[in-house]
Amino acid sequence: MCDPARWHLRRIVATGQWHLMFERSSFANVWLVLPDGEFLPYGTYRARVAGTWIYPDAAARRGYGHQNGWPGELQAETIDIVEVLDQPRAPRDG
């Protein structure tokens, strides 16, 4: 996303690649926070996400997500899977 800080605290709708793995949930180079109660198997998806974009500083390198390793986050209200690109063969715990 060009100029990510420009969209800070705004509601966005975006379609892109989402990587959901153990200790990873990345979408558009930020941490994707799933809606409460949402559960999907690990994998790589093409997804359409609507939610609040949190990215206060364009120079940020970390501060969100697992071990604060992401420069921002997208707090999803809805996630629509457009396509399953890859799913590991091992089942997800939980």
Q: Where are the domains of the chain?
A: 4-86
E-state strands within the chain:
10-21, 24-27, 30-33, 43-54, 73-86
Range 31-39 average pLDDT = 94
The DSSP bridge partners found for residue 48 are 15, 80
pLDDT at 94 over 60: no
pLDDT for position 60: 82
- The whole-chain average pLDDT of the chain stands at 91
Give me the amino acid identity at 3. D
Q: Which residues contact 43 (CB under 8 A, 6 or more apart)?
A: 20, 84, 85, 86, 87, 88
pLDDT for position 58: 83
CA separation, residue 50 to residues 4, 17, 24, 45, 91 (Å) = 16, 14, 19, 15, 27
CATH topology classification for 4-86 = OB fold (Dihydrolipoamide Acetyltransferase, E2P) (2.40.50)
**Whole-structure pTM over 0.95, yes or no?**
no
Q: What is the pLDDT of residues 6-27, one digit of tens each?
A: 999 999 999 999 999 999 999 9
